[in-house]
Amino acid sequence: MADLERVLVLAGGMSPEHEVSVRSGRRVAESLRRLGVEAHSADIDAALLERLRRDPPQVVFPVLHGASGEDGATAEILELSGVPYVGAPPAACRIAFAKPTAKALVAQHGVPVPRGVALPKSAFHDLGAPALLERVVDRLGLPLFVKPEQGGSAFGATSADSPEELSAAMVSCFAYGDKAVIEERIEGTEIAVGVLDLGEGPFDLPPVEIVPDGGVYDYAARYTPGRTEFFSPARLSEAAARAAADAALTAHRVLGLRDYSRTDLIVDSAGRVRFLEVNVAPGLTETSTFPLAVEAAELDFARVCRDLAFNAWNRGRAD
């Protein structure tokens, strides 16, 4: 472990989640420095490739959320540069980042998912939005939940209890992407389950229960201290907790993820667990669920960051 000396933390990016990424990156870099690792931070910009060529770090720790970070682009760049990095390989990132694709794959492996459809903006333009939304409501009923096909931090994600609210939700969604995922809204307990692999295979972290003060886990509720109450481990029955862990581990394995991930789930009143989506680069801020789960597992967050970087460096040396 003493051989790991220099890590480059990539944070920022051009997505709407820029500020969250900066906060995540700052925490990772500070944690690594606390353990004696020389950690520098950089953004994805025109200077990055030259920096990697001129002074390559031992390993890169990307904490880029949203497009260019979780869609596989950054991983492709690092692969081209021959620099070891923490996180999932490019192909796995692309699959996980496309919510309908990830949902279909985990469903094929026995994980329950909400009923839903994925439709592009062009379909509403070509076929007529009112008629198409009427078909959606006829098929899925109400209430519904609308979110962009890609992205996170609840940008463009809206609940709809009526046809009028559904129409407004579509407008909000299309401000953040050209394809919308429309799903039945499951009432229940929202939880996040982290998966971590420190070199001996992936294992689940304690589930984190999310209770936003306004009932909606939007951007402000996610990143404003005090706006959301978290319970870790979540207040679940033993059977529901096991099902949640199995769902997160299945998603991690089926999608080909690596090192760490976070799966978002909802547990209904009957204890039935449904998969919502998975994140290949979960938030690592002070209010993010993944670090809370690490703490609940009685692991040290700084050591986890160091171990992930060390394992990625060893992986690179073995190639």
Measured at the CA of 248, the angle between CA 244 and CA 251, to 5 degrees, comes to 135
- Asked if pLDDT for residue 153 goes beyond 60, the answer is no
Place of tokens 């229960």: 209
CB count within 10 Å of CB 55 equals: 10
Active site residues: 17, 153, 223, 262, 264, 277, 279, 283
Q: What is the pLDDT of residue 6?
A: 96
Q: What is the pLDDT of residue 1?
A: 46
The span from the CA of 251 to the CA of 263, in Å, is 7
- DSSP conformation class of 85: B
Q: What is the pLDDT of residue 224?
A: 65
pLDDT tens figures, 83-115: 999 999 999 999 999 999 999 999 999 999 999
Nearest to 91 by CA among 109, 68, 69, 75: 75
Query: What integer best gives the mean pLDDT of the chain?
Result: 92
Measured at the CA of 229, the angle between CA 226 and CA 233, to 5 degrees, comes to 140
Q: What is the pLDDT of residue 222?
A: 61
The span from the CA of 75 to the CA of 59, in Å, is 12
Q: What is the pLDDT of residue 221?
A: 59
308 membership: H or E segment, kind and range: helix 301-318
3-state secondary structure of 174: helix
Give the pLDDT mean for 117-124: 93
Determine contact, residues 186/269, Cβ cutoff 8 Å.
Answer: no
Residue 7 CA: distances (Å) to CA of 71, 199, 313 = 22, 18, 9
- Asked if pLDDT for residue 245 goes beyond 70, the answer is yes
Q: Which residues pair with 265 in a beta bridge?
A: 191, 275
Which residues in 193-232 are b (16+ Cβ under 10 Å) and which e?
bbbbbbeeebebbbbbbbebeeeebbbebbbeeeebebbb
- Between 133 and 154, residue with greater pLDDT: 133
Q: What is the pLDDT of residue 64?
A: 92
The span from the CA of 70 to the CA of 95, in Å, is 10
